[in-house]
Amino acid sequence: MELNLSLPKKMRCVDITEPGTADTLVVGQRPIPTLGDDEVLIKVAAAGVNRPDIFQRQGLYPPPDGASNILGLEVAGEILMIGSKVNHWQVGQQVCTLLTGGGYSEYATAHQDLCLPIPSPLNLIQAAALPETFFTVWHNIFEHAAIKPGETLLIHGGSSGIGATAIQLTKALGYRVFVTASSDKKCQHCLKLGAEAAINYQEQDFVTATKELTDGRGVDVILDMVGGDYVQKNIRAAAFRGRIISIAFLRGSRVDVDLMPMMLKQLVLTGSTLRTRPTKEKATIAKALLANVWPLLENGTIAPEICATFPMADVANAHRLMESNEHIGKIVLTFFN
């Protein structure tokens, strides 16, 4: 479908001059993306900043084949055009959506099945913080790990966007959730969000702490974004037939691990990525979110945690904040004129 003639031919976006530090991020111009038959064109109001954006900027996480090489995996905004096969969205509706790339720009295209309505209590900035974390948490904890009623969950990085989402959602659905975080301030915030216990890993051994919290049994599901030396510790902290899911490796993916405890406990060690999954699989997650999670957002039971917002021109400082690990909750870029 051709672009509406009233739209500009080019858009502002964030470009990377070369792989490296946040200083390599600049605001540039590119043509507005071409609209596919099953896609919608969105005027972006806000875009979430996520750890994969940092890795891509550093040259460590290239986009999948066919995806935009512009950073940004989630946005919220208004639909300006729809493709010829789009059948459940209309021009003028506001949505948030998961992307494979292209979010750090004034306009973005998204598959119709990955778009979700804006929950009524939330504004566009809050909505931009939803897709990446909620898709990730729902799939990994409720589908991949298949957490069961009465089971316990340990989340590493409890004050991150993923962590804050996981705490609120699992607590709202009746699970016991424990977290690790790097400071007392972050631990206190996690407790306010609903964590039963928050372990300052700078001062406590989380294996010992979780064993005490579970009367020596260990935890059933562990969501790990740390890797490194945490891999062996996770095995020690896990309960019999526990599931350990890795979604990132901030301390490295290469480790020397004794797997005998894994065999004896009959553990499942697995991993997950979201960006490269087929659209059909991500669409299934979107449907599950709409049915099970969006009602909790609509009634205010849960809400995204926003740490800070930055205008597009200040994107370098947004990345610096994420890399400092001082943030609590999500960082969001805004694209308001």
| Tens-place pLDDT, residues 17-39 | 999 999 999 999 999 999 999 99
Give the C-alpha separation, 261 to 264, whole Å.
5
Q: What is the pTM of this model?
A: 0.95
Report the pLDDT value the prediction gives residue 3, as an integer from 0 to 100: 46
Question: What is the token pair recorded at 271?
Answer: 């991993």
Alpha helices in the chain (DSSP H): 51-57, 124-128, 131-137, 161-172, 184-193, 206-213, 230-237, 260-265, 279-292, 294-298, 315-324
Note the maximum CA span of the chain.
66
| Tens-place pLDDT, residues 205-254 | 999 999 999 999 999 999 999 999 999 999 999 999 999 999 988 888 89
- The domain segmentation of the chain, as residue ranges, is 10-130+276-334, 134-271
**Identical fold, 10-130+276-334 and 134-271:** no
| Tens-place pLDDT, residues 138-164 | 999 999 999 999 999 999 999 999 999
Residues 6+ positions from 83 with CB-CB distance below 8 Å? 1, 35, 36, 37, 38, 39, 40, 112
**CATH number listed for the domain at residues 134-271:** 3.40.50.720
Helix (H) / strand (E) element for 82: namely strand 74-82
What CA–CA distances, in Å, run from 258 to 231, 248, 277? 10, 20, 31
Give the C-alpha separation, 210 to 207, whole Å.
5
| Tens-place pLDDT, residues 37-77 | 999 999 999 999 999 999 999 999 999 999 999 999 999 99
Helix (H) / strand (E) element for 180: namely strand 176-181
Unique residue bearing structure tokens 């039971």: 301
According to CATH, the topology of domain 10-130+276-334 is Quinone Oxidoreductase; Chain A, domain 1 (3.90.180)
Report the pLDDT value the prediction gives residue 112, as an integer from 0 to 100: 98
Report the pLDDT value the prediction gives residue 6, as an integer from 0 to 100: 77
